[in-house]
Amino acid sequence: MPPATLVWAELLGRPARTLTGAISLAIGLALFLSLQAYGNGYREAARAPLTEIGTDIVAQREGDRPEAFEGAVFPHSAAPITRSEASAIRAVDGVEAASSALILWSFQKNDLVVTLGLDPAESIGPGRLRAGVREGRFLRPGESGAALLDVSYAEQKKLRVGDTVDVSSRPFEVVGLVDTSRAGQIANANAYLTLADAQKISSAAGIAGPTDVNMVFVTARPERSEAVAAAVKARLGEDGLLTTPQSFDKALGSTFTLIDRFGLLVGIAALLIAAAGLARTVSANLTERRRDVAVLRAIGWPRRMVAAQLTAETTVVALVGLGLGVLAAAAVTWGLSSTQVTVPVPWELSPTPHFAAGGARQLSITVPLRASLEPLLVVVAVAASVGAGALVSSLAARRAAGIKPTEAWRVH
């Protein structure tokens, strides 16, 4: 019987043993790849709130609690950042783009209007709200006395495009209504003004200088993101408050933190256990087939042919296991991708007073998990599994080489 035919005859003749080896390897590989896909999906989800506004870092400065909640005040997470400090942030090596904004609380006539001043010319940060306009138009660069309202706030106050809204006792014409969820729930406000108008309000209230801001949105080159964050923090000093994708890790819960930290170790352990299972299967196979191997040696098979035969059998089992493992991992990843993740947004990014009706709002954004298999990781895992299979085959071949032809006549 040709060696190739004998390989298939042995594997198909003992289906339970063959499947046990293949499935043990498949489970280990599938667990390893699925854990990494799960971690990748959650890391992408953590980036979603910032991705929605086209930034990598939101820079703020921690301030003091307002002494009185009257007129225009800053949330305590939004102390002033001077023009020179904002310029220094823009000049950091690795910063691709930056935009500034000014958020404030306006208390008036037993009402609160959370207000955000933005630069309509900017394409990152709150400027992304342009895509969320539902009625009317977006703010225009250089204009004054215009306001963009959140659709929910406008409905609550029964305001429409063309009406007038008061912010800090100043009238503003409502030029548009916007769906703020399109900005990742970051810098979420009731009313949006041009940055210049918001600066006039804060300056008149004596809470900031005429050119101060209190939020800076930064886009950094990927390879420089950590260095940029450190440099921005240094520009703002000890009171600097930075939000990065890593800031959302804790908010995503302990399950993600555990898998993110130990997923790789658990996955590697699963692969090692799978390799041990394959080795055990091959070892048991060799024990069962000692007489068969002895017969092959007795009819003239040299040691290298016996070793090649056993290596081929183990390789086929490993390849079947790898194929099943990758398919199982792809199925699990597809299943994960059909789920959604709710990512809480830190309070300081869209602050509301804790004493307001309903307390401080806990905003969040719901996004698809977007779990994905990394091709390079699949290749590395498969290569490692093939290496483990080759090692097992080598050890089995050495043992086979020691079996003597006289085993064929030994009575069991």
Per-residue pLDDT of the chain (412 residues; tens, 9 = 90+): 445 555 555 555 566 666 767 787 788 888 888 888 887 887 777 777 777 788 889 999 998 877 777 889 998 878 999 999 999 999 999 999 999 999 999 988 778 899 999 999 998 888 888 888 999 999 999 999 999 999 989 999 999 999 999 999 899 999 999 988 656 567 788 999 999 999 999 999 999 999 999 999 999 998 898 899 999 999 999 899 998 887 776 666 655 666 666 666 777 777 677 767 666 666 666 666 666 666 666 666 666 676 666 777 677 777 788 888 889 989 988 888 888 877 777 777 777 776 555 555 667 777 778 888 888 878 887 777 777 766 766 666 666 656 665 554 554 4
* Residues 263 and 392 reside in one and the same domain: yes
Which of 187, 220, 243 terminates a domain? The answer is 243
Quick check: 60 and 247 in contact, CB under 8 A?
no
Domain that residue 360 falls in: 3-48+252-409
* Residues 315 and 177 reside in one and the same domain: no
* Residues 26 and 117 reside in one and the same domain: no
* Residues 9 and 128 reside in one and the same domain: no
Burial class (CB in 10 A: 0-12, 13-18, 19+), 128: buried
Which of 210, 243, 276 terminates a domain? The answer is 243
Q: What is the DSSP string of 354-392?
A: TTSTTSS---EEEEE------HHHHHHHHHHHHHHHHHH
* Residues 145 and 272 reside in one and the same domain: no
* Residues 178 and 63 reside in one and the same domain: yes
Rounded Cα distance, 7 and 97, in Å: 62
Give the CA count within 13 Å in the CB-facing half-sphere of 335: 8
Q: What are phi and psi of 69, to 5 degrees?
A: -100, 70
**∠ at Cα 49 (48, 50), nearest 5°?**
90
Nearest to 75 by CA among 60, 87, 63, 86: 63
* Residues 187 and 297 reside in one and the same domain: no
* Residues 28 and 135 reside in one and the same domain: no
* Residues 39 and 111 reside in one and the same domain: no
Q: What are phi and psi of 196, to 5 degrees?
A: -60, -45
Place of tokens 């079996």: 403
Rounded Cα distance, 216 and 390, in Å: 55
Round to the nearest angstrom and report the end-to-end CA distance of the chain.
25
* Residues 341 and 260 reside in one and the same domain: yes
Rounded Cα distance, 291 and 410, in Å: 8
| Alpha helix ranges (H) inside 53-131 | 83-90
336: tokens are 């994960």
C-alpha distances out from residue 62 to 65, 80, 319, Å: 10, 9, 57
* Residues 181 and 238 reside in one and the same domain: yes
**Structural domain tally of the chain?**
2
358: amino acid identity, one letter: G
Quick check: 195 and 65 in contact, CB under 8 A?
no
| DSSP state letter for 70 | S
Q: What are phi and psi of 242, to 5 degrees?
A: -110, 140
Which of 186, 218, 243 terminates a domain? The answer is 243
* Residues 196 and 76 reside in one and the same domain: yes
Give the CA count within 13 Å in the CB-facing half-sphere of 399: 17
